A and B are shown apart, each in its own frame.
Chain A
Amino acid sequence: MLDDDFALIKKFNNGDEFAFKVLISRHREKVRNLIYLMLGNGEYIDDISQNVFIAVYRNLNKFKFESQFTTWLHKITLNKCRDHMRREKIKNLFVGFSNEDEDFPVPTDIKDEFDIQELVRKGIGKLPEKLRAPMVMKDFEGFSYQEIAEILGTEVGTVKSRIFRAREGLRKILEPYKEELL
Chain B
Amino acid sequence: MRSLYKEFENVSAYLDDELSSTERARVEENLKTSEKLKSRFRDYRMVKDRVSGIRPLPEDYYFEQRLVERIRNNKPSKFGFFKKKPVIAFAVLAIGFMVVFKTNPQVFTNFLSEQKDELMELYTDNLRPIIFSDEITNADIFNFAFNKMFPIDKEKDQMLELSRDEDGNQIIEVKYASAFPTAINLELFVKSLNLNTKQKVQVDSILESYSDDIGSSVLVNDKSVVVVNPQIWHYQNALKADLLSFAANTNKLAAARIFPVEIKPDVIRNYSEQVIRGAEDGNKNIYCFITPDSVFYHGLEIDKQKMKKEIEEFKRQMKVNKEELKKLRKFKIDVRVIPPEYLNGKTFKIDVDSNRFKVEIPDKLLGDDFMDSLNIVLDDALIHLKDFNMGLKMDSIFKKNKDSWKDWGDSVRDNSKKLKEKLKKEGFGPDFDAQKFEDELRSSLKFYFNDSLRIELPKQLNQEMEAFREQMENLRKEMDNLQKELQKKRKSDQPKSPVEI
Q: Do A and B bind each other?
A: yes
Chain A residues packing against B (C-beta within 8 Å): 21, 24-25, 28-29, 32-33, 36-37, 42, 45-46, 49-50, 53-54, 57, 89-101, 116-117, 120-121, 124, 135-136, 138-140, 142, 144-145, 160-161, 163-164, 167-168, 170-171, 174, 178, 181-182
Partner pick for A120 among B51, B56, B57, B66, CB 8 A cutoff: B51
What residues on A are CB-neighbors of B355 within 8 Å? 93
Pair B63/A49 contact, Cβ less than 8 Å: yes
**Contacting pair A160 B292 (CB below 8 A):** no
With CB as the reference atom, state the residue of chain B lying closest to A37: B54
The CA-CA distance from A178 to B220 in the complex, in Å, is 43
Distance between Cα atoms of A96 and B154 in the complex (Å)? 11
What is the bound-complex CA distance between A42 and B352, given in angstroms? 28
**A29 and B71: CB pair below 8 A?**
no
B50 touches A99 (CB 8 A): no
- Of A92, A124, A161, which contacts B51 at CB under 8 A? A124
State whether A21 and B46 are in contact (beta carbons under 8 Å apart), knowing that A33-B57, A98-B222, A164-B9 are contacts in the complex: no
Asked if B51 and A136 sit within 8 Å, CB to CB, the answer is yes
Q: State whether B60 touches A96 (Cβ < 8 A).
A: no
Contact of A90 among B12, B74, B290, B354 (CB under 8 A): B354
* Complex interface: chain A residues within 8 A of B499 (CB): none
A-B contact pairs, 7 of them (CB 8 A): A24-B67, A28-B63, A29-B59, A94-B226, A95-B152, A97-B220, A100-B222
Cβ 8 A contact of B71, one of A42, A45, A57, A120 = A57
CB-based nearest B residue for A91:
B292
A55–B174 Cα distance when bound, in Å, is 34
Q: Are A93 and B70 neighbours in the complex by a CB distance under 8 Å?
A: no
Interchain CB contact under 8 A, B220 and A95: yes
Q: Which of B43, B67, B71, B222 contacts A99 (CB 8 A)?
A: B222
Contacts of B352 in A (CB 8 A): 90, 93
Are A95 and B330 neighbours in the complex by a CB distance under 8 Å? no
Mask, B45-78, CB within 8 Å of A = 1, is: 0111011111111011001101110110010000
Query: A95 to B156, Cβ gap below 8 A?
Result: yes
Per-position binary interface string of chain B over residues 1-26, scored 1 when its CB falls under 8 Å from any chain A CB and 0 otherwise: 00000001100110010100000000
Evaluate contact between B158 and A168: CB separation under 8 angstroms. Answer: no
The residue of chain A having its C-beta at the shortest distance from the C-beta of B63 within the complex is A28
On whether the beta carbons of A140 and B52 are closer than 8 Å, the reply is yes
Q: A95-B158, A145-B16 are in contact. List 10 more A-B contacts (CB 8 A).
A: A24-B64, A24-B67, A32-B63, A37-B54, A95-B133, A97-B153, A120-B54, A121-B54, A139-B51, A140-B51
B326 touches A100 (CB 8 A): yes
**Cα distance, A178 to B50, chains bound together (Å):** 12
- Asked whether B50 lies within 8 Å of A96 as measured between CB atoms, the reply is no
Smallest CB gap from B12: residue in A: A164
Bound complex: CA A54 to CA B73 (Å)? 12
Partner of A93, one of B13, B71, B222, B356: B356
Question: How far is A120 from B66 in the complex, measured between Cα atoms in Å?
Answer: 31
**Chain B residues at the A interface, C-beta cutoff of 8 Å:** 8-9, 12-13, 16, 18, 43-44, 46-48, 50-57, 59-60, 63-64, 66-68, 70-71, 74, 133, 152-153, 156, 158, 174-175, 220-222, 224-226, 290-292, 326, 329-330, 352, 354-357
Say whether B52 contacts A139, CB under 8 Å: yes
Residues of B within 8 A of A24 (CB): 63-64, 67
In Å, the complex CA distance between A92 and B50 comes to 31
Chain A residue nearest to B59 (CB atoms) is: A29
Give the complex CA separation of A99 and B330 in angstroms.
Answer: 9
B70 lies within 8 A of A138 (CB): no
Contact A97 B222 (CB under 8 A): yes
Contact status B60-A28, CB under 8 Å: yes
Contacts of A120 in B (CB 8 A): 50-51, 54
Residue contact A29 to B57, C-beta cutoff 8 Å: yes
Partner of B8, one of A90, A101, A116, A168: A168
| Min CB gap B439→A, angstroms | 39
Partner of B9, one of A96, A97, A160: A160
Contact check, A94 vs B16: say whether CB atoms are below 8 A apart. no
Partner of A161, one of B9, B55, B60, B175: B9
| B residues near A54, Cβ cutoff 8 Å | 67, 70-71, 74
Chain B residues in 8 Å Cβ range of A163: 12-13, 16
Contact A29 B224 (CB under 8 A): no
Residues of chain B contacted by A21 (CB below 8 angstroms)? 64, 68
Max chain B C-beta neighbours (<10 A), residue from A89, A161, A168: A168
Closest beta carbon of chain A to B52's beta carbon, Å:
5
CB proximity of B127 to chain A, nearest CB, Å = 10
Contact A45 B57 (CB under 8 A): yes
**Are A97 and B71 closer than 8 Å at their CB atoms?**
no
Which residue from chain B places its CB closest to the CB of A54 in the assembled complex?
Answer: B71
CB closest residue in chain B, given A36: B57
A89 to B355, CA, bound (A): 9
Shortest beta-carbon distance, B1 to chain A, in Å? 14
Which A residues lie within 8 Å of B46 (CB)?
A: 171, 174, 178, 181-182
